[in-house]
A and B are shown apart, each in its own frame.
Chain A
Amino acid sequence: MTTEPVSAGGDPRRLLSEVRSLAHRVRVDQRMTWVALLVLAGVTFVGIPFDWLGMTVRCRPDSSCEFARRGALYYWPPALLLAYAAIAVSYVRAARARGLGARVLPYVIAGAATTVVFTAAWVAAPLYFASHPESMQRLSYWWLVLDRLVSPWSMIGIALVVLARIERNIGLLLFTLAYLALVLLVLPMNEGWGLAGWGLQAQFAVPQAISGAVLLLGAVGFFTAARRRQR
């Protein structure tokens, strides 16, 4: 540590470079990315039995089935709101312990807003299709993608994009884009996935377990990276 007064002014390039480096250091010290991903992974795993037990399935003699994911609808809105509150508290506490303020509020607001959007969409869709049953026959691939977009698993990803933006965290942005591509385009979150003979509940559990595992792996990866930086 220096006891001499620091010289005034200096090379503008050096000063700007120091300003950027200090700002980056603060942003890195404020991050708790792994906690956010761990909480969201936990919420995803806990949601599987709720979806399984709360799903009502009615199969007709022609082997076509109708189902309603009531368990997921009742579980996810409060679970997500609690998860965002828990993430906010852990961010604020960790930042405070390090001697910093936290910038997590926009993420929590985005999380709450996406929760409202998903809930409204899941309530509105069955009401619409009940009064327009013919439109169910004309659903395109992109409607299925839109349906996945307004699911809680995708909404987690949308809110994570906001977190990556406020943290200016390129690693989290890349992870989130890959996660969103997975839950929107690869995993059949709204159709189910599994072997022949599996029940509908089990088929819906598989993509949820995969998305939870991806979030958990992300949490482990960001935790390891944060530990390495501290050494």
Chain B
Amino acid sequence: MTAPGTPDPDAGHPVNGLDEVVHQRARLGILTIAHEAHRVEFGYLRTHLELTAGNLSKHLSVLESAGLIEVEKGYEGRRGRTWITLTATGTTALANEIARLKQLIDRVETSNGQ
């Protein structure tokens, strides 16, 4: 078992190197948005990933437990705001996941071409 975000060096096929925590549509979306935005608010993620608040919270908990994101709660005026930031491990995990996805696509295209 490898730490989240670290590809297994023994994995031959790209599928074996995919991280279960990251290789999930909504969680990949959260990491992508947090990476691009530097910092993202809960409401933005909920709207753009089309998730309910409960579902999004569950995905955030999984990512936070894996050390891929940091969650910061605060107030702006009277309104509660939750901000999500990608950790260094999260950045690496996202880069690895995208690299694996590209490898998978290359494999499929190579095998289709033969």
B36: which of A3, A26, A98 is its contact (CB, 8 Å)? A26
A1 B37 Cβ-Cβ under 8 A: no
B48 A22 Cβ-Cβ under 8 A: yes
B25 A6 Cβ-Cβ under 8 A: yes
What separation, in Å, do the CA atoms of A180 and B22 have in the docked complex?
43
B52: which of A2, A16, A98, A99 is its contact (CB, 8 Å)? A2
Judged by a CB distance under 8 angstroms, whether B8 is at the interface is: no
Total number of B residues with any Cβ neighbor in A under 8 Å: 32
What separation, in Å, do the CA atoms of A25 and B40 have in the docked complex?
13
Knowing A18-B25, A19-B28, the reply to whether A13 touches B41 (Cβ < 8 A) is: no
Instruction: Rank and list the top 3 A-B pairs by shortest CB-CB distance, nearest first.
Output: A99-B41, A99-B44, A101-B39
Interface residues of A (CB under 8 A from B): 1-3, 5-10, 12-13, 15-16, 18-19, 22-23, 25-27, 30, 95, 98-103
19 contacts between A and B (CB under 8 A): A2-B50, A6-B55, A9-B25, A12-B101, A12-B104, A15-B101, A16-B102, A18-B29, A19-B29, A19-B32, A19-B101, A22-B48, A25-B48, A26-B33, A27-B36, A30-B37, A99-B44, A100-B39, A103-B38
